[in-house]
Amino acid sequence: MLYFIGLGLGDEKDITLRGLEAVKRCSHVYLESYTSLLGVDKAALERLYERPVQVAEREFVEERAEEMLDQAAPADAHVAFLVVGDPYGATTHTDLWLRAVERGIPVEVIHNASIMNAVAACGLQLYRFGEAVSLCFWTDTWRPDSYWAKIARNRAAGLHTLCLLDIKVREPSVESLARGRRVYEPPRFMSVAQAATQLLDIVAGRGGSGGVTDTAGVGPDTRCVGLARVGQTDQVVVYGQLADLANADVGPPLHSLVVPAADLHFHEQAVVDHYALRAAPTHAAAEGSAPATPTEKGD
């Protein structure tokens, strides 16, 4: 049996009872570690599970998954593959599911929250979200902006867009690849400020295609929503103009950004207004009813 277990978005306590029962049956426990980030380290998981957890880097999942499937294959075997968020959040996990099924290994998927549904915490209604997009880090020579067309299409249809922000974990450096021996870059996580800056660059004609023709009415004063550590106890949501978000510090990763539809439902507006970006001295954790008020950089 191979269990795909979603861990949710926060810490070790966001696993479901069903998930915990499953993991406690397992002889081998793998934690997928390259498509998202849990708010806690693996030692906390190990204490709760009362067994060791092996971090599965991208290479493991892509190159050595057969070992894991071999472990899960015997009739009495129980192996867990833990995924931050929901197990179906990434294509590689579906691939793994498929390989297990095709080998005749019983699989069980245990769902959990992911950013794809928890984004509604910002107050924008989930059924008004169009296609989600992914932003990747730009380099001096590579500034892709093809995702912009999707944001523009969503805006034209009166829909919000969830922007998933780039995660670079265990990326071998170009230099090291040239030398034939992998050395890894330090992990990088795109921030709300970096994402807002990228969007501003695009609408100002500084994207890779040399300028988009349809800005979809988006400019420096367009109010967007920045999210940090959704589902964690120190979650931050900020609603403010792109130009201000480009200077906002919402704390540690993971971050996401939402480009809302031009017109919000009054209900949506009432909620996001609670998260309006204000210059303030703290960016303390959201406590009870008081929305966190992140500082702007330099405050």
Report the interface residues with a copy of itself, using CB under 8 A.
1, 6, 8-10, 12-18, 20-21, 86, 88-89, 91, 94-95, 97-98, 100-101, 104-109, 111-114, 116-118, 120-121, 123, 125-132, 134, 153, 157, 159, 164, 231, 267, 270-271, 274, 287-289
Minimum CB separation of residue 134 from a copy of itself in Å reads: 7
Minimum CB separation of residue 1 from a copy of itself in Å reads: 7
Minimum CB separation of residue 98 from a copy of itself in Å reads: 6
Distance between CA atoms of 192 and 240, rounded to whole angstroms? 11
Q: Which residues contact 114 (CB under 8 A, 6 or more apart)?
A: 6, 9, 85, 86, 89
Q: Which is nearer to a copy of itself, 89 or 296 (CB)?
A: 89
Residue 58 CB: number of other CB atoms within 10 A?
15
Q: Which residues contact 76 (CB under 8 A, 6 or more apart)?
A: none
| CA max distance for the chain | 60
Comparing CA positions, the residue from 151, 166, 165 lying closest to residue 260 is 151
Q: Which is nearer to a copy of itself, 117 or 282 (CB)?
A: 117
Q: Is the Cβ–Cβ distance between 7 and 83 less than 8 Å?
A: yes
Q: Which is nearer to a copy of itself, 13 or 297 (CB)?
A: 13
Minimum CB separation of residue 132 from a copy of itself in Å reads: 5
Minimum CB separation of residue 186 from a copy of itself in Å reads: 27
Instruction: Give the single-character DSSP code of 18.
Output: H
Amino acid at 152: A
Q: Which is nearer to a copy of itself, 2 or 193 (CB)?
A: 2
Instruction: Give the single-character DSSP code of 286.
Output: P
